[in-house]
A and B are shown apart, each in its own frame.
Chain A
Amino acid sequence: MSETTGLDRALTYLRGEKPDKMPIWLESVYLAWKYSGTPTLKEYVHDPKAIALGHINVAERFRVDITGVNTDQWVMYEVLGAEVEILDHVVQAKIPPWRYRPDHKVYEMFSEKVERIEANLKEFDPRRCRRAQAIFEAWEIVAEKIGRRVLLRQGILGPAATLALTIGMTEVMRDVMIFPDLMGTLTKMVRGPLMDWTVDVAFKMVEAVDFTNFCMGFSGYDRSLLNPELRRWLAELDLEYLKKVRERIGGDVPITTHVCSWDPDLDFIYENFGRPRLVNELQFYAPGSTYPLERAVERFGGKIPLCAGIDHLGPLFTGTEDEVEAMVKHSIELGRKCVSFALGPGCGLSPNTPEQNLLKIAEVRDKCGRYR
């Protein structure tokens, strides 16, 4: 009998069934860079072979079942005008000039650009920019080399987040309170051409990983980040987006999730996206966030697969091997109460995470996290 692969394990988990053992999800842009052997980050993010090699090395070294291949949050948005700076240790958005002083003109100019998207979607293909082209090539390489053994979670946030990440996330959140007409303008842009653009990019990403999954980001559903009214506004748009993505990718492709949030409104996410079975799992950040894993297991564990249990900023990053072992064992015990459970951190790992702590996850999982 052939051995169960990480991909089989992950897909079984996403169906809400129990595989041979609990799958492990881990990924890290910067750990992958470290394992690629590429001297500078600037070279790395432009080199598809290096990006692929780094991610493959991390996946194999730490025996993960689920991973993702990324360089940063803005790579798809450069074609829309997002600007990044690549420092020695980080790729990040440039601080916009409207940081201290809100400027309505920014939205007027972006609205004009969005109208051009409607006229010519091809002009705004992210692959026209070098870094996005590199990441698409990296996905193809990784999918070919390990895609039959490991699930590659790839996705793009919804159209509202597309707009916010292009203009400036914190500035957009501030400015909707300051300019009374802005919500209407944003809704029009997001429901129109920006929706089509984001769905199109989502489809291209899913295609690049052989239709194994689409990962939907829900990090905006954070109680400290958005008040209930804005959360409802975002959910309406994301629901529309998710349904359109589903139409494009087909009904069989599982939808994974990502909730990198310190104060997640998991109940809201479940009610809006989990209960209607629009997504196949709830991945979130616990332990370490304000939503304890115990509570999530109690509320949703019997209803939808959960991925959590590794505190990537706590024991995994700063603790000892014994502390990591205790954390993983505790999470496995909780995970047994779920329809299915995957071990995973809240977000991407630090490149400084001790290697022995990372190796410990699979070791403890193999020992204690078997279903049969």
Chain B
Amino acid sequence: MEAGRVYELAMEFKPFEVENEVKRLLSLGVDAEQILDQLRRAMMDACDRYGGEFALPQLSAVMASFSMGYELLKDKIRKTGKGRILMGTLGSMHYIGKDIIKVLYIADGFDVKDLGENLMAENFIKGIREFNPHLVGISAFLTNAIFELQEIIGFLERNNLRKRVKVIIGGVQGNPHVAERFHLDGWAHDPRRALELANRLVSEAARA
């Protein structure tokens, strides 16, 4: 059974049709992994086109297809063991950038835990304790809570976790000055760079 229609519908910005097609394919016994491959291909292609043919509206529309389709598949797919990533937005409700990167990481096979928005250092620290991630991806839009980064890094250092838990920043505050000032492992402004960074840093963390 061919799942390629899922990809086409996602790239045509039709999330409700994607949802119906995923349901139909599952009812016909199509392997969830095969369907997920098509959603993954759509998300990766959308990210490749971002900055050229696609801007945020197109990327968000494909993301809606991925999310609505993935919701139906998530309990049926195998974990890849590629690495664990903890994510969240520091200090505000801004979520679109974080959600896009989250979906991209899931699509790439990472095990992702999203802590949500309006987080402070204590939320990230609790998440690190519980989820034991290889990478913490912090989305920061406002500067109001930026000094919370010191506490997160301080916690990792005090617990000798600094080498095996990498920390990156994205969003408006994702820039080399902030990354350097708070001793982070990297920063990213676009999906492709965020993905490359995660793959490299998770490998490093897993080897540490």
Q: Which of B57, B147, B189 contacts A227 (CB 8 A)?
A: B57
| B144-A350 in contact (CB<8A) | yes
Q: Return the CB mask of B134-163 against A: 1 if under 8 Å, else 0.
A: 000000001111110000000000000000
| B144-A288 in contact (CB<8A) | no
Which residues of B, 151-208, contact A by the 8 Å Cβ criterion?
A: 172-173, 175, 177-178, 180-181, 189-190
- Contact of A177 with B61 at beta-carbon distance under 8 Å, contacts A313-B177, A352-B147 already known: yes
Which residues of B, 1-24, contact A by the 8 Å Cβ criterion?
A: 13-15
Interface status of A101 (Cβ within 8 A of chain B): yes
Residues of chain A within 8 A of B189, CB atoms compared: 262
| B68-A101 in contact (CB<8A) | yes
Given A90-B92, A177-B60, A223-B51, 12 new contacts (CB under 8 A):
A89-B91, A90-B145, A99-B95, A170-B60, A174-B64, A224-B55, A317-B177, A318-B177, A318-B178, A319-B177, A350-B143, A352-B144
Residues of chain A within 8 A of B92, CB atoms compared: 90, 92
Q: Return the CB mask of A221-233 against B: 1 if under 8 Å, else 0.
A: 0011111001000
State the CA gap A90–B148 with chains docked (Å). Answer: 14
Q: Which of A85, A95, A224, A315 contacts B56 (CB 8 A)?
A: A224
Number of interface residues of A (CB under 8 A): 39
Interface status of A351 (Cβ within 8 A of chain B): yes
Nearest Cβ in chain B — how far from A224, in angstroms? Answer: 6
State the CA gap A90–B146 with chains docked (Å). Answer: 12
Residues of chain A within 8 A of B96, CB atoms compared: 170
Residues of chain B within 8 A of A317, CB atoms compared: 143, 177-178
- In the A-B complex, the 8 residue pairs with the smallest Cβ-Cβ separation, listed nearest first, are A350-B143, A174-B60, A177-B61, A318-B181, A173-B57, A227-B55, A170-B96, A314-B177
Nearest Cβ in chain B — how far from A320, in angstroms? Answer: 11
Interface status of A176 (Cβ within 8 A of chain B): yes
Interface status of B77 (Cβ within 8 A of chain A): no
Which residue of A92, A225, A288 has the most chain B CB atoms within 10 A of its CB atom? A92
